[in-house]
Amino acid sequence: MDKRLSLQDFVAEIKPGLSVGFGGGGIQRKPMAAAVAIARSQLTNLDVISFLGGPEVDLLLGVNKIKHLWFAFVGFDALGLAPNFRRARESGAITVTEYSEGTMLAAFEAAAKTLPYLPTRFGLNTDLLNTSTSPFKTIECPFTGETLLAVPALSPDIAVIHVNEADRSGNAIFHSDAYGDSLLARAAKRTFITAERIVDDLPTDHTRRSTFISRLWVEGVIEAPGGAGVTALYPDYPVNVPVVLDYMKKATDPLWLATFMEASR
What CATH number is given to the structural domain containing 88? 3.40.1080.10
What are 223-237's pLDDT values in tens digits? 999 999 999 999 999
Taking the C-alpha atoms of residue 226 and residue 265, their distance in angstroms, rounded to an integer, is: 10
What are 180-208's pLDDT values in tens digits? 999 999 999 999 999 999 999 987 766 66
What are 54-97's pLDDT values in tens digits? 999 999 999 999 999 999 999 999 999 999 999 999 999 999 99
Domain span at 144: 7-263
In a domain, 2, yes or no: no
In a domain, 152, yes or no: yes
In a domain, 1, yes or no: no
In a domain, 29, yes or no: yes
In a domain, 111, yes or no: yes
Q: To the nearest 5 percent, what fractions of the chain are helix, strand and coil? A: 30, 30, 40
